[in-house]
Structure 1
Amino acid sequence: MTSKPSGPYCFPETLPAWPRRRMHHLFGPDGRAVIAAMDAGIKGVPPGLADAHAAVRAVVDGGIDAILATIGFARATAGELGGRGLIVALDSEIPSAGYGVEQAVRFGADGVELKVFPGNPEVTKLGELRELAATADRWGMPLMAEPIPVGFKELRAHTVENVANAARLSAEAGADFVKAQFVGDVEQFSTVVAACPAPLLALGGPRKTPRDALQMAADAIEAGARGVVYGRNIVEAERPDRMVAALVEIVHGGSSVDAAAKLLNVPL
């Protein structure tokens, strides 16, 4: 069973007022977050997100803390998202530091995101992350980095050591919080969390069974992660609202996997 969070969590006083306030729109009072990654439309019509409005309504009904989305998706679904947190994905064919942060600020977003690829001999995007971090700092906009060692398909490169190094490089480049793969077991992933000086959240990765997705969230929290960022494991679930509610019970409520799984009411 995961430990139940207690007491309010305050982001460092060294973080200026505006980004600190926006971080509180993304994380709960316990300093933890359940975030739905809904930015897959950058590649076309993704499973689970064909009806953008229904998809956002479902995760909001489940109690989501925030969503990660493209600016177009966010604009289209602003009415459904309401006061929930929003991170705008700035992954693009061209460097986004020159336009993306201001666009996100004007829209009223609470954070921005960039994927980077440490260890990729062709492009790491770490330089772009440093530039984006400086721009985000000027605008008071929190920045989330998603480091993928080498690339999405280079699974053998996604070792505990490489994920830890990638997370650390992202924090060193100026990311305010980091979304990283859960690798290894609880003890091994705790070394990834401990080596990252910025708050770290675990990403969901490939589609899992509902129970496996909940177990990974519980393991990540036990290892010291501040929460999860799930895409397919939420939006492609039979009941995305119930999957979110179950994750919220684990991440914020300290519930066991067995107790949280009862909320799904679907075959595990």
Structure 2
Amino acid sequence: MSYSPTYNEVGKRIRLSRILRNDRAVVFAFDHGVEHGPSDFPPEHVNPRVILEKVVDAGVDAIMMLPGIARITWDIWGNKTALIVKVTSKTNLRPKDERLLQSPFGYVEDAVALGADAVAATVYWGSQYEDLMLQRWFTIRESAETYGLPCLQLAYPRGPAIANRYDVEIVRYGARAAAESGADLIKTYYTGNLETFREVVRAASGIPVLMSGGPRREKEIDFLRDVWNVIQAGGKGVVVGRNIFQHKNPKAMIKAVKAVVHEDKTPEEAVKLLEQ
């Protein structure tokens, strides 16, 4: 007797396929206005509509943002790219010792209402608030399952006992914890080279792993090499913000990243797209 998937499973598979084009994805991260504040943006990109028009036009696979900005920019991204609604966040206005806690910033129902293809939430593995974030994660995941929505976990090891959050043993621990807590997609730190990131992918046990874009790299070729290493290690792509919206030519940078992720171009080949 053949197996028939549930309605939820069908919905999740369809939505994942909208994000992972040819099993890979370039996702534009756009939660920095809360996580870091408006000073993270160049003056011309403080208005979200300006940068979102550029990234949508460049053909990014998905955009990850908070519900409020998704609501006021729907006419830009609607029916043009996949939407991932992040439903947790935190500000740097908090006392420093409380910045290792992500708070609710929306609901799964908000994502459904907006027509999202997935929801996202952060867990700071190793934080003193890990238990509270896990409770929220499981509430989000349970609700998302009802609607057939995939869950992207930003699996970020951070805490008073973690000396180096980019250490491969720390990062792969977080990736494994994300997989074991039911994530459908995992966003995590780049460990510095192909060999160590391959260990992160292995630890994720078949759950697609996407690299966190991190701070702006001074040289574009260096960032493209990071992305290339991630793909060669078995990663499925990148969730990138600052290396796009802080770049002088965001559209060209997205096209270069897409060339590495989707076309298997080398960094040296892809960087030439920035010269055109």
TM-based fold match above 0.5: yes
The aligned counterpart of 2:154 is 146
The aligned counterpart of 1:18 is 11
The aligned counterpart of 2:169 is 161
User: Which residue type is aligned with residue 88 of structure 2?
Assistant: D
Show structure 1 runs of 4+ deviating over 2 A: 92-97, 121-124
Match of 1:112 among 114, 119, 131: 119
The aligned counterpart of 2:58 is 62
The aligned counterpart of 2:87 is 90
CA positional deviation for 1:73: 1.0
CA positional deviation for 1:128: 2.0
CA positional deviation for 1:219: 0.6
Match of 1:204 among 205, 208, 213: 213
Structure with greater contact order relative to length (CA < 8 Å, sep ≥ 6): 1
CA positional deviation for 1:92: 4.0
Paired residues of 2:156 and 2:174 also in contact (CA < 8 A):
yes
User: Which residue type is aligned with residue 86 of structure 1?
Assistant: L
Paired residues of 2:89 and 2:122 also in contact (CA < 8 A):
no
Paired residues of 2:122 and 2:155 also in contact (CA < 8 A):
yes
CA positional deviation for 1:59: 0.8
CA positional deviation for 1:17: 0.6
Greater mean alpha carbon deviation, residues 257-266 or residues 212-221 = 257-266
RMSD value, Cα: 2.2
Q: Indicate yes or no: 2:23 matched with 1:31.
A: yes
Distance in 2 (alpha carbons) for counterparts of 1:183 and 1:220: 9
Paired residues of 2:151 and 2:185 also in contact (CA < 8 A):
yes
Report the TM-score, using the length of structure 1 for normalisation.
0.87
> Identity of counterpart residues, as a percentage?
34
Matches within 5 A, 1:1-268: 16-28=9-21, 30-43=22-35, 44-45=37-38, 46-48=40-42, 49-82=45-78, 83-92=80-89, 96=104, 100-123=107-130, 125-151=133-159, 156-197=164-205, 198-208=207-217, 209-265=219-275
User: Which residue type is aligned with residue 139 of structure 1?
Assistant: Y
Distance in 2 (alpha carbons) for counterparts of 1:157 and 1:231: 19
Question: Structure 2 regions of 5+ residues with no counterpart?
Answer: 91-101
Distance 1:206 1:20, change over 3 A: same
Distance in 1 (alpha carbons) for counterparts of 2:226 and 2:103: 33
Paired residues of 1:163 and 1:180 also in contact (CA < 8 A):
yes
Paired residues of 1:129 and 1:174 also in contact (CA < 8 A):
no
Equivalent pairs counted in the alignment come to 252
CA positional deviation for 1:252: 0.2
Question: Structure 1 regions of 5+ residues with no counterpart?
Answer: 1-12
Distance in 1 (alpha carbons) for counterparts of 2:159 and 2:49: 31
Higher helix content, 1 or 2: 2
- Cα deviations by residue, 1:76-120 (Å, 9 ceiling, x for unpaired): 2111113201101111468649x6111100110111111111111
User: Which residue type is aligned with residue 181 of structure 1?
Assistant: Y
CA positional deviation for 1:127: 2.8
Look up the SS of the partner of 1:56 in the other structure: helix
Paired residues of 1:112 and 1:144 also in contact (CA < 8 A):
yes
Distance in 2 (alpha carbons) for counterparts of 1:146 and 1:215: 22
Distance in 2 (alpha carbons) for counterparts of 1:155 and 1:222: 28
